[in-house]
Structure 1
Amino acid sequence: MLIAMIIAFAPMDAARAAGAGTCTGQFPNPITDICWSCILPISIGSVRLGNLGDQEDIDNPSSPLCSCGTNPTIGLTVGFWEPARHVEAVRKPFCLVSLGGLDLNPGLPSPEGARYTHAEGDGDGGAFYQAHFYVNPVLFYLEAVADFPCLERGSFDLAYLTEVDPLWGDDELTLILNPDAVLFANPASVAACAADCVAASAGFGIPELFWCAGCQGGLYPMNGHVPYHLGGVRTAVLMAQRLTAKMHRELVAWGWHGQRGLCGPYFEPVMDKRAYKTQLTYPIPNTTKEAGRCCQPFGRTTVLWGAGKEYPVRGEDFAFMLFRKRNCCVGY
């Protein structure tokens, strides 16, 4: 596994890195740091079951019966929110927050994270973060639900480092991946994101406004440059959205929900932002259920839940558990 190789060849161990002022972190504790109610609601067909705390959900396939395979297997249509991915935004390149603050530092040149002010001196400023994408099928490797065929199999592993991706630090190179960004670089497209912010704060974002990241601004460019830094939590949530969208555009992340997802994942180069919820796991796990919920759909404002989640030095890097919408056909 990639994580085992990183630990074997890292120039310093996790304990030393955790004590460094520029690279700190903590492995997410599945008992204390993950809000398990985010899995809900569980659905059979269009009927939602066990929805404690009135968790938000998107539409499920209407029929409770389904079939998959060349020789069709009849089964039940099940839906839930699967904790399967982990994203972190860091200031120091190769700092693995979710591995306890492991400082990989392989000697490769990579842009440092930074916060800066604009030349106009108007008090506004931007930022740059590196980001990491982990595979984290926590329900499977904890064996929390035995013999359930809908769970992704695997273990906690590092899947993507933006430090080795030349597109992440260059706006022009990023156009190779998202040339459609030029279509939305105008006042009308930017203003439309206000409606996406309102929709995401009340429920889920508007899928037709796929270039918007809700209250965090624009999804483009899909890199680490943010021209409007208004707090670490807000910017880190935007990094989580951008990196997830980038993984979809590169076909590293796939769709798992809806009628098309019943028999397995499918290519989804334009991410459906309604299919993800985030839950902050570092520096301060967001396990307090505000209005019955501790996970937030992509694009929701951070004003209500992000206050007090950032503090100097050890609390300026961020990690999120990603809950993705999953529909599958459980055969008899």
Structure 2
Amino acid sequence: MAWRTVLLALAVWVCQPAAAADNGKTSLTCEGRWVNPITDVCWECLFPMSIGSVQVSAGSLPDTENPPSPIQFCPAPPPIFERPGIAIGFWEPFAMTDVTRSPGCMVNMGGFNINIPNTGTGTGTKMANEHPGTFYHVHWYKYPLISWLSIITSDMCMQGGEYDIGYLSELDPTWQNDNLALFLNPEVILFANPVAQMACAADAVVAGVSKPIDALFWCAGSHGSMYPFTGNIVNESSGLNSGALLSERMDFKLHREGLILDTVPQNTAVCYEYPSAIMPKSRYRYQMVNTIPDV
């Protein structure tokens, strides 16, 4: 049995604000390319690798907790009832995102455009206006890379399936409206104050040298705030930072909606996946691939 210690989310930042004249109107171009699973993926980021609590291959990045025993017994259909396996821990690439201002632009599927009516384009802060801020759409892809390449084979614990579109923010009204998003994240009222946001400085420092602090779940390190679960960002510092932040927000949002499940690194519990309304930040890494700059 191959056991997934943690998941590696491939965050793809793509910003597409190139203006094109079309019958007197301004539109956003859609560019992109397919991600090369061999050359574009940070393969060294899969490490460290462990069997049980014993590290068998070191890595440059910190690891999370692993189950104490290398041998696990998980439930199986009759007449077997229990299936033995080996608890192998590694960081598995499992998802990929587009972060784009151009609605319906599938950047990581070659740059083709899905015509989604009644959807506004994203905005930027390069020109002063009364309401400075940015807005991006996010597309979530299912990307079970390890299963495709058959690097580690497991019928029970690996992310399987095909490369597929899992979520389009253009179809979700809560992603575009902070007030509607309150139904998903009502606790944002508790953290919308200077004291709570100042605590994020500690998360930023620790995340820079080790792992983020899961207890400070409203913080996204030095990227900003996890809340609200929308594509709106106030006082954008850079497009790269916005791409990483919105990938993290979408990850958290899908956890809250029960669309992403997590494992628990303990004996027996490792056999199951559990819903988690609060995303365990330390179990995710984000890598930039396929970046396209502002034009």
Q: 1: CA distance between counterparts of 2:47 and 2:73?
A: 24
Q: 1: CA distance between counterparts of 2:128 and 2:189?
A: 23
CA displacement, residues 182-219 of structure 1 (integer Å, 9 cap, x when unaligned): 01111110100010101111111100001111101110
Structure 2 unmatched ranges of 5 or more? 1-26
Question: Residues 100, 261 of structure 1: CA spacing in aligned structure 2 closer, same or farther, 3 A cutoff?
Answer: farther
Q: 1: CA distance between counterparts of 2:120 and 2:35?
A: 26
Whichever residue aligns with residue 62 of structure 1, its letter is P
Mapped contact 1:216–1:238 kept (Cα < 8 A): yes
Selected match of 1:114 from 119, 123, 130: 123
Selected match of 1:136 from 118, 122, 143: 143
Give the 5 Å matches for 1:304-319. Answer: 311-313=293-295
Query: Where does residue 73 of structure 1 map in the other structure?
Result: 83
Whichever residue aligns with residue 252 of structure 2, its letter is A
Query: Where does residue 19 of structure 2 map in the other structure?
Result: none
Query: Where does residue 285 of structure 2 map in the other structure?
Result: 277
> Does the alignment pair 1:177 with 2:159?
no
> Does the alignment pair 1:262 with 2:244?
no
Q: Normalising by the residue count of structure 2, what TM-score does the alignment of the two structures yield?
A: 0.84
Cα offset for 1:155? 1.1
Query: Where does residue 232 of structure 1 map in the other structure?
Result: 239
What root-mean-square deviation, in Å, do the aligned CA atoms of Structure 1 and Structure 2 show?
2.0
Mapped contact 1:118–1:126 kept (Cα < 8 A): no
Deviates more, 1:125-134 or 1:219-228: 125-134
**SS of alignment partner, residue 87 of structure 2:** strand
Cα offset for 1:145? 3.1
Mapped contact 1:175–1:181 kept (Cα < 8 A): yes
Mapped contact 2:28–2:102 kept (Cα < 8 A): no
Query: Where does residue 212 of structure 1 map in the other structure?
Result: 219
Query: Where does residue 330 of structure 1 map in the other structure?
Result: none
Among all aligned residue pairs of Structure 1 and Structure 2, give the percentage whose two residues are the same amino acid.
37
Cα offset for 1:69? 0.9
**SS of alignment partner, residue 155 of structure 1:** coil
Query: Where does residue 114 of structure 2 map in the other structure?
Result: 104
Question: Residues 21, 130 of structure 1: CA spacing in aligned structure 2 closer, same or farther, 3 A cutoff?
Answer: closer
Whichever residue aligns with residue 208 of structure 2, its letter is S
Q: 2: CA distance between counterparts of 1:279 and 1:94?
A: 22
**SS of alignment partner, residue 173 of structure 2:** coil
Query: Where does residue 3 of structure 2 map in the other structure?
Result: none
Cα offset for 1:179? 0.4
Question: Residues 213, 118 of structure 1: CA spacing in aligned structure 2 closer, same or farther, 3 A cutoff?
Answer: farther
Q: 2: CA distance between counterparts of 1:75 and 1:140?
A: 18
Selected match of 1:59 from 62, 65, 75: 65
Q: 2: CA distance between counterparts of 1:243 and 1:92?
A: 17
What count of residue pairs does the alignment treat as equivalent?
263
Mapped contact 1:41–1:51 kept (Cα < 8 A): yes
Q: 2: CA distance between counterparts of 1:248 and 1:133?
A: 13
Whichever residue aligns with residue 75 of structure 1, its letter is G
Q: Normalising by the residue count of structure 1, what TM-score does the alignment of the two structures yield?
A: 0.75
Query: Where does residue 37 of structure 1 map in the other structure?
Result: 44
**SS of alignment partner, residue 282 of structure 1:** coil
**SS of alignment partner, residue 262 of structure 1:** helix
Mapped contact 1:111–1:169 kept (Cα < 8 A): no
Q: 1: CA distance between counterparts of 2:181 and 2:87?
A: 39
Selected match of 1:253 from 230, 238, 260: 260
CA displacement, residues 72-96 of structure 1 (integer Å, 9 cap, x when unaligned): 3333222111111111200100100
Whichever residue aligns with residue 103 of structure 1, its letter is N
